């Protein structure tokens, strides 16, 4: 079980990005983390993977725990060794290296199982086998996302933190990525999925959290969130009453409070 | 023609030394975006240490021990003086490396004293003549040694776990950290490699003749080399080293016919003229990345 409790994170000593966030990722579950831009989703991931330092962020209160043990102060290398792997937003593959070199860098914290993990990643992404000696920067967006996810899997992580894996991808590719996340989870890896594409995230998650301006405002099983009127309206773009009939004028007049917190 | 080939051979010999030095600069630049001005000091320390060891354990063993010892010194220097400054402005770290250079060079200079030291290398100024072309043995040795080192480095960066991690960290530090790469290890290894390379370069720069405290000035030629090759290109450092070496040596051979109005030092300034031209025409060098920051 990976979790954060009452986490407060400050960037540059002044910007309060998280104001007491608590959430947990049970082993083998998919947890979705939804929210608008700037809600603090990526900051949660950085606190879990130890990458706050890079952005001059600090945990001011609360803590990060793995099986009850505090891990908030550990370095990224130590966290990767304990099985927490972070797939950064925007893919961030090593563009000038080949696909296979990218994957082998991902195996940095598990050098003994390179062969086995390489086989597993190539099974998950058969597309990458053909491109394995090609320069990674020349791959399509979807393939680059596969490299990014595959790279993280190369150390056989216990928890995978995915930051917007559907960013900038065609709907068909998004569906592929979704199936891959389900498959990774089926093989026993816990997944924390940060997404703007809430429909996709909630369709595969077991549990979901909704964040707003540094707070968790909703914490329900994914199925409940999918059925929730507010979530449907704000995040899924769906309305409960007959969608067809509603004209744009009515939409404009239709004002509701868009924030739970405050 | 023979005269030209002789000059070229000599230039390649010197160029091999410059290439070794430039590789050290580039490796450190790639890992921390800093030009380390401490390289000249490590180079001189290498030559001094080897010249003191040769009498006791023989030349080859002295080179091996000396190179490893200077690599360890560089490792310690990085840990003590550079690591606490990580995250500070690049300029600050560059200035610190100048300080390190002065300290290390003074200590190494104390072992030279006012006299000249002999390296004790087996080559001296012996010359091999191949079809009218004269090649100095020490230049051949330098070229061979550089070829071996470059091959080993190439394999290191391509196949080993830490080599891959270093390349990854130079491309995208945060993404490398997310893979479990420890940036501290990357810095340490890059300084150790650069120190070892500088020491080895010092050995070949000092071979053939006696050397004194001014040996470190040879390392300054590595600056035109990395500007020409590109600050962040290992291949560029090797090729740039050879080109600069050859240019320097050819100009030195023909300066009296080409530039009769100048005195004998034209060869010495040729690398810097090349550097100025490169900076004017192609500031990122032959193989460098265009958008690199410069200090």
Angstrom distance (rounded) from CA A239 to CA B151:
65
Neighbours of A64 (CB within 10 A): 23
Question: ipTM score of the complex?
Answer: 0.88
- A31-67 pLDDT, tens digit each: 999 988 889 999 999 999 999 999 999 999 999 999 9
Q: What 3-state DSSP class applies to A243?
A: coil
- Residues 6 or more apart whose Cβ sits within 8 Å of residue B288: B229, B230, B231, B232, B233, B236
Domain ranges of chain A: 27-53+82-253
| CATH code matching the domain that covers A27-53+82-253, chosen among 3.40.50.620, 1.25.40.10, 3.30.70.360, 3.40.50.300 | 3.40.50.300
The mean pLDDT of B43-50, rounded to a whole number, is 94
What does the pLDDT read at residue A186?
94
pLDDT at B49: 94
Count Cβ–Cβ pairs < 8 Å, chain A vs chain B. 74
Tokens of B244: 């600069």
User: What pLDDT is recorded for position A249?
Assistant: 55
Q: Is B171 in the A-facing interface, judged by CB distances under 8 Å?
A: yes
- The pLDDT-based confidence of B293 (bands split at 50, 70, 90) is very low
pTM as predicted: 0.88
Report the gap between the CA of B176 and the closest CA in chain A (Å): 8
In chain A, which residue's Cα lies nearest the Cα of B86?
A54
A54 touches chain B (CB under 8 A): yes
Cβ neighbour number for residue A157 with a 10 Å cutoff: 25
Q: Can you tell me the mean pLDDT for B274-278?
A: 93
User: What CA–CA distance (Å, rounded) separates B211 from B224?
Assistant: 23
Residue whose entry in the numeric block shows the structure tokens 């080949």? A98
- Residue (of B132, B118, B135) closest to B212 by Cα position: B118
Alpha carbons A143 and A99: distance in angstroms, whole number: 10
Largest Cα–Cα separation, chain A? 63
Yes or no, beta carbons of B173 and A54 under 8 Å apart: yes
Local structure of A154: helix, strand or coil: coil
- Within 10 Å of residue A247's Cβ, how many Cβ atoms? 8
Can you give the pLDDT at residue A107? 95
**Which residues of chain B from 181 to 210 reach within 8 Å of chain A, CB to CB?**
181-182
Per-residue confidence band for A251, with pLDDT thresholds at 50, 70 and 90:
low
Q: What percent of chain A has pLDDT over 90?
A: 73
Distance from CA of A179 to the nearest CA of B (A): 23
Distance CA A21, CA A255 (A): 29
> Could you tell me if B3 lies within 8 Å of chain A, comparing CB atoms?
no
Dist CA A127 CA A149 (whole Å): 13
Residues A80, B180: C-beta atoms closer than 8 Å: yes
Across the interface, do A92 and B172 touch by the CB < 8 Å criterion? yes
Give the separation between CA B184 and CA B206, rounded to whole angstroms. Answer: 33
Q: What is the pLDDT of residue B224?
A: 94
Average of pLDDT values for A215-228?
90
- Model confidence at A254, pLDDT cuts 50, 70, 90, reads very low
pLDDT in the model for residue A144: 94
> CA–CA separation, A196 vs B179, rounded Å?
24
Model confidence at A237: pLDDT above 80:
no
Inter-chain CB proximity A151 and B172 less than 8 Å: no
pLDDT interval class at A253 (50, 70, 90): very low
Contact B177 A51 (CB under 8 A): yes
Backbone angles phi, psi at A126, to 5 degrees: -60, -25
Residue B294, pLDDT score: 44
Residue A88 is encoded by which pair of tokens? 């950064």
Query: Left, alpha or beta for A40 (phi > 0: left; psi -120 to 50: alpha)?
Result: left
In chain B, the residue whose alpha carbon lies closest to the alpha carbon of A87 is: B178
| CA separation for the pair B220, B218 (Å, rounded) | 5
Cβ neighbors of A55 (< 8 A, separation 6 or more) are A11, A46
Best mutation target among B86, B175, B288 (most A Cβ atoms within 10 Å) is: B175
Confidence label for A84 from pLDDT (cuts 50, 70 and 90)? very high
Q: Nearest residue on chain A to B172, judged by CA atoms?
A: A94
Q: Is B171's pLDDT higher than 60? A: yes
B165, B174, B182: residue with CB nearest A105: B165
A54, A75, A106: residue with CB nearest B179: A106
| Distance from C-alpha of B109 to C-alpha of B19, rounded to nearest angstrom | 24
d(CA A115, CA A172): 31
Residue B42's Cβ-side half-sphere holds a number of Cα atoms within 13 Å equal to: 35
Tokens 């490396």, residue located: B97
| Dist. CA A220–CA A236, nearest whole Å | 16
**Terminal Cα distance for chain A, rounded:** 30
Q: Residue B216 in contact with residue B44, Cβ under 8 Å?
A: yes
- Please write the tens of the pLDDT for every residue from B173-228: 999 999 999 999 999 999 999 999 999 999 999 988 788 888 888 899 999 999 99
Q: Which residues contact B12 (CB under 8 A, 6 or more apart)?
A: B139, B143, B242, B245, B246
Strands A15-25 and A2-11 turn out to be antiparallel
Distance from CA of B178 to the nearest CA of A (A): 6
pLDDT in tens, B99-157: 999 999 999 989 888 888 888 888 878 888 888 888 889 999 999 999 999 999 999 99
């Amino acid at each position: 079980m990976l979790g954060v409790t009452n986490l407060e994170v400050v960037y540059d000593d002044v910007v309060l990005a998280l104001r007491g966030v608590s959430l947990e990722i049970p082993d083998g579950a998919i947890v979705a983390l939804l929210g608008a831009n700037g809600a603090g989703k990526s900051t949660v991931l950085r606190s879990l993977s130890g990458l706050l330092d890079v952005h001059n962020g600090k945990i001011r209160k609360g803590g990060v725990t793995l099986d009850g043990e505090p891990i908030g102060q550990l370095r990224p290398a130590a966290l990767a060794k304990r099985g927490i792997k972070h797939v950064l937003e925007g893919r961030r593959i090593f563009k000038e290296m080949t696909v296979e070199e990218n994957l082998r860098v991902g195996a940095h914290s598990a050098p003994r199982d390179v062969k086995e993990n390489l086989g597993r990643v190539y099974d998950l992404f058969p597309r990458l086998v053909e491109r394995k000696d090609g320069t990674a920067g020349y791959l399509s967006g979807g393939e680059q996302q596969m490299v990014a996810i595959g790279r993280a899997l190369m150390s056989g992580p216990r928890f995978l933190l995915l930051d917007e894996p559907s960013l900038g991808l065609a709907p068909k590719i998004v569906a592929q990525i979704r199936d891959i996340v389900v498959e990774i989870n089926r093989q026993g890896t816990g997944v924390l999925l940060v997404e703007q594409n809430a429909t996709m995230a909630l369709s595969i998650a077991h549990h979901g959290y909704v964040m707003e301006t540094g707070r968790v405002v909703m914490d329900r099983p994914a199925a409940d969130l999918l059925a929730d009127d507010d979530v449907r309206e704000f995040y899924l773009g769906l309305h409960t009453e007959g969608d067809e009939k509603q004209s744009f004028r009515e939409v404009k007049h239709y004002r509701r409070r868009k924030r739970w917190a405050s | 023609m023979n005269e030209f080939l002789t000059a070229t051979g000599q230039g390649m010999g010197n160029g091999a030394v410059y290439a070794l030095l430039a590789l050290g600069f580039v490796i450190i630049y790639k890992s921390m975006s800093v030009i380390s001005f401490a390289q000249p000091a490590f180079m001189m320390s290498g030559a001094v240490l080897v010249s003191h060891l040769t009498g006791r354990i023989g030349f080859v063993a002295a080179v091996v021990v000396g190179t490893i010892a200077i690599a360890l010194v560089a490792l310690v220097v990085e840990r003590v003086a550079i690591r606490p400054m990580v995250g500070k402005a690049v300029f600050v770290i560059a200035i610190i490396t100048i300080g390190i250079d002065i300290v290390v060079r003074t200590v190494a200079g104390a072992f030279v004293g006012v006299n000249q030291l002999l390296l004790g290398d087996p080559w001296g100024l012996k010359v091999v003549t191949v079809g009218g072309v004269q090649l100095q043995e020490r230049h051949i040795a330098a070229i061979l040694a550089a070829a071996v080192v470059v091959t080993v480095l190439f394999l290191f960066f391509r196949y080993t776990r830490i080599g891959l991690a270093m390349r990854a960290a130079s491309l995208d530090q945060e993404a490398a950290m997310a893979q479990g790469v420890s940036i501290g290890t990357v810095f340490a290894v890059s300084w150790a490699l650069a120190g070892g390379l500088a020491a080895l370069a010092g050995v070949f720069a000092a071979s053939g003749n006696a050397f004194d405290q001014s040996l470190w000035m040879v390392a300054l030629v590595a600056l035109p080399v990395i500007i020409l090759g590109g600050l962040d290109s290992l291949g560029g450092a090797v090729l740039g080293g050879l080109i600069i070496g050859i240019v320097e040596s050819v100009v030195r051979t023909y300066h009296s016919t080409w530039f009769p109005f100048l005195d004998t030092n034209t060869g010495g300034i040729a690398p810097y003229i090349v550097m100025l031209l490169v900076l004017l025409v192609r500031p990122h060098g032959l193989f460098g990345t265009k958008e690199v920051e410069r200090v």
